[in-house]
Structure 1
Amino acid sequence: MDIKKTKPSSKGIARNQLFLLLAVVLLVLVIIAYQRGSAVSVSHEDILLADVQRGDVDITVNGFGILKSNKRQLITAQSPAIVKEIILKAGAIVESGSVIVQLENPDINQLVENAEQELSKAKANYRKLLLNNQRELLTEQAAIADIKTQLEAATLKRAARETLVKDGVVSKLDFIESQLLERQLENQLKISSQRMEQLLKVHAEALNIQQEESNLYQSNLITAQKKLDDLSIKAAFAGVLQRMDLELGQSIAAGSEVALIGSTDDLIAMINVAQSSAQQLSLKQKVRIDTYQQVITGHIVRINPVVFENTVEIEVVFDAEQPANVRPEQSISAEIIIESLSNILYVQRPAKVQAASKQFVYKLNQNKSEAELSAIGFGKQANRSIEIIEGAQAGDTLIISDLSNLDATHISIN
């Protein structure tokens, strides 16, 4: 027997679908209610919060170091000596010409004394030579004067006989003798005058030789006196005595270090930066130097190409006038500004968050009673802060503590 099947009506199908939809919605509401009812609670005192801000941020590299004198003088012993007196010790303020240490060397004292004696002897010889020259000159001048007198007499006599020989009063032989005598005296006068000229040249050359000898002894005395003066160790400029390790009575060799002086009004900062950050450094980059009393701005003028103990040393000069309360060898810290970011969103870097990444961080609601795990895109790291690219706005509050041990998308804060 055939059984006739009845088809369900369209109204019944619609009603069933509605019941199914209501059941699904109810299930979702139950799940949400369950999650809210079982949400993790954390104490406000156990977490760290940070507000998202908008503004300018500098990307920096940290370093540490000391202030050093830009102008330094290393003083060494010029001769072997013994420390006779210590006048100033390390740390003392010095002026230009301040005596730091007095050294002693008896051989140098004797050298000065010998040089003084030799110079005195040379000067005495010069004066003696000058007197002898004057005596010889006077003798020669007297001889010339005598010849001139004889020549004048011979000339008069020859002129008189020339008249008389014409009258036959004087013989021609006597006249010829008068002429001969006159010519002889003229020749003698000429030779004596030439000899006088030569004598003057000889005297001048002899005096020059003696003067050169005196100059040589004078130079020897100056050299010896400089060696003696060098035993008084003096500062060449005003500054501070940075190092002086000698002891009273100590013997030192030539070339040994005596003292190190550094300027106090011309300082530079020597900063050590981690080798891993060295590739970000370049000349003229701005630097903030913290003396732990104040912050001074400067810029990089030199980067040491040599890596020492995993650090790179940079040299920084001040941009403005050097403060009065800084000193050489003072410890400092520094921030080198690698890049300046303008008008960005940033926040104090949450725990375990890396630059240029997208990570989940708890973000508080408006009344700060709950926090929801939110995906936030991070950009560049700037020291303790990090740039926010997406997922948060200025004024939002993030939990920056490490809550990776919590397995919840929502947490309540009490």
Structure 2
Amino acid sequence: MDQAIPLDVVRRRTRVRVATTLLLVASLCAAAWGLNRVLRPSVSAADVVIAEVRRGNVDNTINAAGVVIPVHEEVVASPGASRVAKVHAKPGQQVAAGDLLLELDDHEIRLALEALKEQLAQQDNRIATLKQEQAQKHTQIVSAIELLEIDLQAARATLERSQKLRSSGLVSGENLLTAELNVKRTEIQLRQQRALMDATQRTTASNIAAADLQKAILQKQIAQQEQLLDRTRVRAPFGGMLTWLVEEEGASVAAGQLVARVSELNNYRVEATLSDFHARQLAPGQAVRVEQNGEAMAGTVHTILPEIQNGTIRLLVDLAQPRNGSLRNKMRVDVNVVTERRANVLVVDSGAAFNGRGPQPVFVVDGGVARKRSVTLGASDGHVVEVVAGARAGDRVIASDTHAFKDLDAIQISH
């Protein structure tokens, strides 16, 4: 005989069936959701950067690494091999023109200077002696000439008297000939003395000129040594910042070795370094945008240094505001050299999704779905990128990194 099932058992079985059904439905929903995730991946809108294509201006730029340097910087070198005797300043100190920075040992320079001064004194004595000898010789020759002139007058008078007496037969021909020879001999001696005077004057003048030349050489050498002596007291060449100095007293320095460097305050330019691949695109006068901590500063290319080192080229950039208060010596900055400017073209904000010029895939957002599309990109200035083809104004594209979705044609944008 069948018995009725208790009411509580029936209720329990009903609850089990309902729970089983709900669990099955939940499993099916989870499976469907998971399948949808597999078939159509999604990404949160908060995890991507979406930029809108719009009309605007763009500069095509070449990026370079830059460092701030002073417009005017001067180095001071050691005048000769020496050692540091005393240091009067410290690097980083602001100095005025002529301030004493350090002293070098000047013992050897002083000894050389004293020796040159002694040689100069000897040369002065030699010149004085030559002039005195010249005066003495001149006096002697003048006296000899005066005596010969008297002798010549006497010889001529004797000849004249002999000629008159010869006509009367009172003087022999031999005496007349002797008188004539005496006149000629005295004339020759007189000419010789006058020639000797000229030769002596020329010789002495030449010797004095040589001595004067040697004296001038010694004076120049003394002036050079005095300059070297003055340079042993190293001074600031102009007012500015002492950026480097040999600080160790007693340290040896070689001739021409750098001992101090002074830079002009608050007047800067930028030295930029970039790959020599871009060398043909660079030219003096090109516009430059220098950026540091979000601040952009205008400038122009001043000089392209000709030397290429390790595949890099350097250029000097003049700033429109070289006395910008935010600049500091040796500060690193980003440099963008403008090689081309385009106005009223389609642009989109730069991002990791864009890689250089030319066709490339990007994800264009349409509603809640981003679909892959080929877009041709052009010029870029680091802030915006030119869109040459493949998109129109108003299109929204993912600008952030899409490398994880490179094999997908579409992704879901969830909010």
TM-score by length of 1: 0.69
User: Any conservation in 2 of the 1:347–1:388 contact (CA below 8 Å)?
Assistant: yes
In structure 2, list runs of 5 or more residues that go unmatched. Answer: 1-35
Question: Offset of 1:93 from its aligned partner?
Answer: 6.3
User: Any conservation in 2 of the 1:280–1:338 contact (CA below 8 Å)?
Assistant: no
1:5-404 mapped onto 2 (5 Å cutoff): 48-69=49-70, 73-91=74-92, 100-164=101-165, 166=167, 178-233=179-234, 241-261=242-262, 268-273=269-274, 278=277, 282-284=281-283, 286-290=287-291, 294-299=296-301, 301-302=304-305, 305-307=308-310, 312-318=312-318, 322-323=322-323, 328-337=329-338, 339-349=340-350, 352=353, 356-364=359-367, 371-380=368-377, 382=380, 383-388=382-387, 393-397=392-396
Aligned pair count reads 365
Q: What is the DSSP-based 3-state SS (H/G/I as helix, E as strand, rest coil) of the residue aligned with 2:255?
A: coil
Amino acid corresponding to residue 296 of structure 1 in structure 2:
A
Q: 1:232 to 1:169 in 2, by over 3 A?
A: same
Once structures 1 and 2 are overlaid, which stretch shifts more, 129-138 or 94-103?
Answer: 94-103
Amino acid corresponding to residue 297 of structure 1 in structure 2:
G
Once structures 1 and 2 are overlaid, which stretch shifts more, 255-264 or 43-52?
Answer: 43-52
Q: 1:296 to 1:391 in 2, by over 3 A?
A: closer
Paired position in structure 2 for 1:26: none
User: Any conservation in 1 of the 2:91–2:244 contact (CA below 8 Å)?
Assistant: yes
Q: What is the DSSP-based 3-state SS (H/G/I as helix, E as strand, rest coil) of the residue aligned with 2:124?
A: helix
Q: What is the DSSP-based 3-state SS (H/G/I as helix, E as strand, rest coil) of the residue aligned with 1:347?
A: strand
CA distance in 1: counterparts of 2:53 and 2:385, whole angstroms: 10
Paired position in structure 1 for 2:19: none
Could you list the per-position Cα deviations for residues 337-375 of structure 1 after superposition, in whole angstroms to 9, with x for gaps in the alignment? 3554543333335675666334444334xxxxxx34445
Q: 1:82 to 1:44 in 2, by over 3 A?
A: closer
Give the CA RMSD over aligned residues.
4.5
CA distance in 1: counterparts of 2:185 and 2:397, whole angstroms: 130
User: Any conservation in 2 of the 1:60–1:336 contact (CA below 8 Å)?
Assistant: yes
CA distance in 1: counterparts of 2:400 and 2:209, whole angstroms: 94
Question: Offset of 1:331 from its aligned partner?
Answer: 2.8
Taking only the aligned residue pairs, the percentage that are identical comes to 22
Q: 1:328 to 1:145 in 2, by over 3 A?
A: farther
Q: What is the DSSP-based 3-state SS (H/G/I as helix, E as strand, rest coil) of the residue aligned with 1:248?
A: coil
TM-score by length of 2: 0.68
Q: 1:128 to 1:394 in 2, by over 3 A?
A: same
CA distance in 1: counterparts of 2:194 and 2:172, whole angstroms: 34
In structure 1, list runs of 5 or more residues that go unmatched. Answer: 1-34, 365-370
Q: 1:90 to 1:374 in 2, by over 3 A?
A: same
